[in-house]
């Protein structure tokens, strides 16, 4: 699984109509989409997805935000997918994100930051399996 990562286009980017532009950047960077769906997380499901952050002060805000509107979830394939995708999305805080990154272009704040990208191969697998059954992963 080391050539796969997991992403979500978050509710802020969905609401602003940036889904297509972001998917286009993902494709242009050489990632192949091997699973994809548009869906909306309940508070319970958002809380479960981000359970690792439960002790952080921003957890409540994060769960509210991630359940506030539709998202697009996808599994992406490319050599060195996890690391290369983190480079493509840029720093968590868009004010610190490099020029040309997805967050620099489309994120408004450290909380509403347009996209998610897995931080390890292990989490990529866990997160992909959270949204997609085996039959939905190509
Ligand atoms: P990521 O791996 O770059 O997404 O960053 P983290 O794993 O540190 O945080 C997960 C998500 O929590 C981020 O993408 C943000 O949406 C949110 N987040 C992180 N820090 C803050 C914060 O200080 N305030 C708020 N409201 N949300 C935050």
Residue 116 is a catalytic residue: yes
- Active-site option among 14, 18, 116, 124: 116
Q: Pick out the chain residues at pLDDT < 70.
A: 1-2
Tell me how many domains the chain contains: 1
Number of other residues whose CB lies within 10 A of the CB of residue 135: 7
Q: How far apart are CA 61 and CA 127, in angstroms?
A: 20
Q: How far is CA 125 from CA 35, 42, 89, 113, 117, in A?
A: 12, 21, 19, 22, 12
Kindly state the tokens that stand for 128: 């992909």
- Return the pLDDT at 1: 47
- Return the pLDDT at 27: 98
Q: How far apart are CA 89 and CA 78, in angstroms?
A: 15
CATH no. for residue 108?
Answer: 3.30.70.141
Nearest-atom number in ligand 1 for the CA of 91 is 3
Domain with 89, as residue range(s), is 4-136
Put simply, whether the predicted model's pTM sits higher than 0.85 gets the answer: yes
Q: How far apart are CA 88 and CA 103, in angstroms?
A: 9
Residue 92 near residue 110, CB atoms below 8 Å:
yes
Question: With a 6 A CB cut-off, is 123 part of the ligand 1 pocket?
Answer: no
- Return the pLDDT at 39: 98
Question: With a 6 A CB cut-off, is 61 part of the ligand 1 pocket?
Answer: yes
Q: How far apart are CA 137 and CA 121, in angstroms?
A: 16
Q: How far apart are CA 49 and CA 43, in angstroms?
A: 10
- Return the pLDDT at 9: 99
């Amino acid at each position: 699984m080391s050539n796969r990562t997991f992403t979500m286009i978050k509710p802020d980017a969905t609401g602003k109509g940036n889904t297509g532009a972001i998917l286009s950047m993902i494709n242009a960077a050489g990632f192949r989409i091997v699973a994809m769906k548009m869906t909306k997380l309940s508070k319970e499901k958002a809380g479960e997805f981000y359970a690792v952050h439960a002790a952080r002060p921003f957890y409540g805000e994060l769960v509210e935000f991630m359940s506030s509107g539709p998202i697009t979830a996808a599994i992406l394939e490319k050599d060195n997918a996890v690391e290369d995708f983190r480079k493509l999305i840029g720093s968590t805080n868009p004010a610190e994100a490099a020029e040309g990154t997805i967050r620099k272009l489309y994120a408004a704040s450290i909380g509403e930051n347009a996209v998610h990208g897995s931080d390890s191969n292990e989490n990529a697998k866990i997160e992909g399996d959270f949204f997609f059954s085996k039959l939905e992963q190509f």
